[in-house]
Amino acid sequence: MNLWDTRLLLRSAWVALVATSCAAAAAALDEGGLYIAGAGFDFQTTAERALAQNTGGRRFFLLSLPPETAALLANATGPPATLRDRVAAASGVLLVCQRDIDSGKIRADGLVPVVVAVRGWPPAGSNDSAPGQRHFAGENPAHLPAANEALRQLRSTCS
């Protein structure tokens, strides 16, 4: 490979990197925020706030921590189930922490199918996530925030 080919290759790589960064930033701007039900904030109040602040089909994320996960159960009825369905219909992504499933605080088989379990940060020294990667192997990035700050807060909360 000559010098000209090397420069062309580097220039192409730079353009691809910039384009990818711009696409991720644009996606993050089209998203709403991360809302957390639990630790003093009930599901109803948190869900209503998320719905009010994210109109027009803008995607947002609602993480529920025990004991505020009852509305996410398949056997939930009445106003909690109706509110959960409104969140999902309004482009809300319903989330729980994988650690709560692993510890038995939440039964995965009892959740409605649209609920996504999210992992926290890997333990120190773990090879679960490659350095510089935002997602774990097998994790669907479409279910997680594009904004780095929201994803960091989500991972921290679920650690």
Where in 17-150 does DSSP place strands (E)?
34-37, 60-64, 92-97, 116-118
Q: Is the pLDDT of residue 42 over 50?
A: yes
Rg (CA), the chain: 19
Q: What is the mean pLDDT of the chain?
A: 82
pLDDT tens for each residue of 145-154: 999 999 999 9
Asked whether residue 144 carries a pLDDT value surpassing 50, the answer given is: yes
- What is the per-residue pLDDT for 30? 79
Which CATH number describes the domain made up of 32-157? 3.40.1260.10
Nearest C-alpha neighbor of 117 from the set 79, 72, 149 = 72
